[in-house]
Amino acid sequence: MSQKVAIVTGANRGLGLETCRQLGAQGLKVILTSRDAEKGQAAAAQLTAQGMTVEYHPLDVTNEDSIQQLKNTVLERHGRVDIVVNNAGIFSDPKEPWTAFSANIDTLRTSMETNVYGPFRMCQVFIPIMQQQHYGRVVNLSSGMGQLSEMNGGVPGYRLSKTALNAVTRIFADEARGCNVLVNSLCPGWVRTDMGGPEADRDVSQGADTIVWLATLPDDGPNGGFFRDRQPIAW
Ligand SMILES: NC(=O)c1ccc[n+]([C@@H]2O[C@H](COP(=O)([O-])OP(=O)(O)OC[C@H]3O[C@@H](n4cnc5c(N)ncnc54)[C@H](OP(=O)(O)O)[C@@H]3O)[C@@H](O)[C@H]2O)c1
């Protein structure tokens, strides 16, 4: 079989970039995407210089045309899509005050657009290709902040979006069943990135471990699950 093709969203920095690095190190062909072309090209060049097969493509997950263009280009050049890592995400709740009482509904909408409808569109576009190939792995970057079993107050935009993203995982995992397409969510832990901040207790390498594990699951791997540190966690 030809080299597997993996698409990673929001990959110019943070967990997305590290995921590309770890997938590239395993010999996969990586399509590193970002909405800022200059930053994405620089990130891809950095990995190519380390001997990995990495290609840059622009992608804004809130833009339907942008997703379609990505699909067309990747199919034209490579003829397949094996892995999609829905990593792009935003934390748009204001730092203070960040209660549900003070939340601006537009902030909630913005969070949903990137963190939920973006991955939803990616699943709509790429899972049918995976079904035809009888192989596919989709990884959705969720968060412990989206766990209903642990749900507390604060940051409603981010929390709502990650809970809803877990529903996206369950819905597509069920609809894609039977075609060797595995769709899963994970929480990477608290990771030192622009989003996680310098106080976080994990580096990107630890944070990306479960992402890459889910992206490369064997055919008998889990489907429709939620994981941290390669272990199932409560929804
Ligand atoms: N860090 C943590 O502790 C932590 C914990 C739990 C879950 N997560 C999740 O892990 C994922 C990655 O987080 P991170 O910590 O690496 O964050 P990050 O450093 O802030 O990176 C986020 C990435 O998403 C991109 N992005 C944002 N909106 C986009 C859009 N509309 N289209 C395409 N790309 C877009 C950003 O691009 P720009 O550079 O253009 O802004 C950036 O590359 C997120 O989904 C996050 O919610 C992180």
Q: What is the pLDDT of residues 55-68, one digit of tens each?
A: 999 999 999 999 99
> How large is the average pLDDT for residues 162-173?
98
Q: How far apart are CA 182 and CA 218, in angstroms?
A: 9
Q: For ligand 1, atom 46, which residue shows the shortest CA distance?
A: 89
Q: What are phi and psi of 58, to 5 degrees?
A: -70, 145
Q: Does residue 1 carry a pLDDT above 80?
A: no
Distance 1 CA to ligand 1 centre (A): 32
| Domain regions of the chain by residue span | 5-232
Q: What is the pLDDT of residues 192-222, one digit of tens each?
A: 999 999 999 999 999 999 999 999 999 999 9
Residues with Cβ within 8 Å of 39's Cβ and at least 6 positions away in sequence, in order, are 12, 13
Dihedral angle computed from the Cα positions of residues 187, 188, 194 and 200, in that order, rounded to the nearest 10 degrees: 110
> How large is the average pLDDT for residues 48-56?
97
Q: For ligand 1, atom 17, which residue shows the shortest CA distance?
A: 195
Could you tell me what percent of the chain has a pLDDT over 70? Answer: 100
Bridge partner residues of 32 (DSSP): 8, 56
**Whether the predicted model's global pTM rises above the 0.85 cut:** yes
Rounded-to-5 percentages of helix, strand, coil across the chain: 45, 15, 40
> How large is the average pLDDT for residues 163-182?
98
Strands 29-34, 54-58: pairing kind: parallel
> How large is the average pLDDT for residues 153-167?
97
Alpha-helical segments (H) within 26-155:
37-48, 64-78, 105-112, 118-133
Who lines ligand 1 at CB under 6 A? 9-10, 12-16, 34-36, 59-62, 87-90, 114, 141, 143, 187-188, 190-191, 193-196, 200
Q: What is the pLDDT of residues 86-138, one digit of tens each?
A: 999 999 988 777 899 999 999 999 999 999 999 999 999 999 999 999 999 99
- On whether the 5-232 domain is CATH 3.40.50.2300, my answer is no
For residue 113, give the DSSP letter.
Answer: I
